[in-house]
Structure 1
Amino acid sequence: MRTEPTLRIPLGILMLLAGLAAYALGVAWASQWIGQLPIWAQTIVYIVLGVAWLLPLKRFLIWMETGR
């Protein structure tokens, strides 16, 4: 068990917010091309992109808590 606070959690939160902002800006930038697709394809793309950012989140949160 941890006895001293570490900077890993506050820095991890800042990194997470910066990463999500960059990801959101990337998706917004790509929307000019996604918007040209048929509506059914747009739906699939946005669902995939909306879930894709969650994939590395578990490992990142474990690193924030344990350092591993």
Structure 2
Amino acid sequence: MTPSWRKPAGALAIIGIIVVWAVVVTSLWPVVNGWPWFAQAPFWLVAGIIWIAPLKPLLLWMETGRWR
């Protein structure tokens, strides 16, 4: 069995997703900084979790070669 190129490509895609998401979220800091703490807390909680959403199809593709 030959090694698949999907796993290294998927790993790079995951790193790319994390980097892009971190840049997007941190660029919102000037806006979010003015909010009270009880509004900031849910924002940062959701922002810290939502990047995981595109990983399921990506991991499935890495393992099987299909998106669904």
Using the size of structure 2 for normalisation, the TM-score is: 0.90
The amino acid of 2:60's aligned partner reads I
Q: Deviations over 1:29-68 (max 9, x none)?
A: 1111111111110001000111101112111101111111
Percent identity, aligned pairs only, is: 35
Q: Structure 2, unaligned stretches of length 5 or more?
A: none
Report the counterpart of residue 40 of structure 2 in structure 1: 42
- Pick 1 or 2: higher relative contact order, CA cutoff 8 A, min separation 6: 1
Q: Structure 1, unaligned stretches of length 5 or more?
A: none
CA RMSD of the aligned region, Å? 0.8
Using the size of structure 1 for normalisation, the TM-score is: 0.90
Runs of 4+ residues deviating >6 angstroms = none
**2: CA distance, partners of 1:23 / 1:52:** 9
Q: How many corresponding residue pairs?
A: 66
Kindly report which structure 2 residues correspond to 1:1-68, keeping only aligned pairs within 5 A, or say none.
Answer: 3-68=1-66
